[in-house]
Amino acid sequence: MSEWKRLLLGRFSVLFALLCFNILVLPLINDGMSGDYIGRVFFSLLFIECGDISRRTSRHYIPGLILAGLALGFGWMVPFWPGPWTYLLQYVFAGILMFFQAVRLMEAVRKEHLGNEQSIVGALCVYLLLGLAWTMAYAGVCCFEPGAFSVRIFADAGVGADNGVRHANFSELVYFSFTTLTTLGYGDIVPRTPMARSLAISEVLAGVTYLAVVLSVLVGMLGRRDRHGHHHQVARHLEPAREQSSAPGQV
């Protein structure tokens, strides 16, 4: 099987696809009831896949399944019983699930897949899960501090707002989370409360540490694997020559 097929058909490929869709495609869907339900469906699929990944990668998978069930249940409770507490519990359990799954997945990558193609996909999934975990934390803060994050309104945007700012919505919090995780920080979305700023600082530290540690380990392991494979291939080609030289001479 080729390397591309191993990447596409690996055990982390479905999780990676769902993460990319929820992060990259869902923000393009227009706000409204239909967009909200589409988002909930695909986040539900992500929660289910997180629970299934937890079952397949760890013997202690019960906490992952419980967290996935709670995130799924409260996520679908919000449209029928909207309220600050249902919104908050939805984000709390979804964030805990994302962080829990990132830790479990990193452990599985380290133990079972370090040094092969799936380690790259698994490490990317961990990075995306961390970004979504902080997104849920930001959204939870906004439940009891609505002005925790503000979006700057520029003159050419054609949108009027008092003092040139407005509150951030969920899609904008996803955008803010990943620009913070990657330390880009464009400045168009600003944390304005102490809790929001503390969370942003912690995400910067986590993102920088993860890239510095995990990428160096992965590159080192892949380099050692390539060198080992090269030495094994050379030894295999030299083996017939050794056998021929050690054979008794013919008269």
Position 244 scores a pLDDT of 53
| Helices within the chain (DSSP H only) | 3-8, 13-20, 33-57, 62-77, 84-108, 117-144, 170-181, 194-246
Domain count, the chain: 1
Position 87 scores a pLDDT of 92
Position 216 scores a pLDDT of 74
Question: How many residues make up the chain in this entry?
Answer: 251
User: In this structure, how many other beta carbons lie within 10 angstroms of the beta carbon of residue 82?
Assistant: 9
Residue 244 domain flag: no
Residue 248 domain flag: no
Position 251 scores a pLDDT of 39
The CATH number of the domain holding residue 152 is 1.10.287.70
Position 99 scores a pLDDT of 95
Residue 250 domain flag: no
Q: pTM for the full model? A: 0.81
| 125 touches 220 (CB < 8 A) | no
Residue 246 domain flag: no
Position 234 scores a pLDDT of 39
Position 116 scores a pLDDT of 65
Residue 238 domain flag: no
Residue 249 domain flag: no
Residue 251 domain flag: no
| Residue 106 lies in domain | 3-233
pLDDT tens string, the chain, 251 residues long: the values are: 455 445 455 678 889 999 999 999 888 876 666 778 888 999 999 999 988 887 776 666 788 889 999 999 999 999 888 888 899 999 999 999 999 999 888 887 777 655 566 778 888 899 999 999 999 999 999 998 988 999 987 655 554 444 567 788 899 999 999 999 998 888 889 999 999 999 999 999 999 999 888 777 776 666 665 555 444 443 454 455 445 555 554 43
Structure tokens at 241: 């020559």
| 135 touches 182 (CB < 8 A) | no
Query: Which residues have CB under 8 Å from 190's CB, separation 6+?
Result: 149, 150, 152
Position 28 scores a pLDDT of 83
- Candidates 58, 87, 118, 102; CA nearest to 210 is 102
Residue 59 domain flag: yes
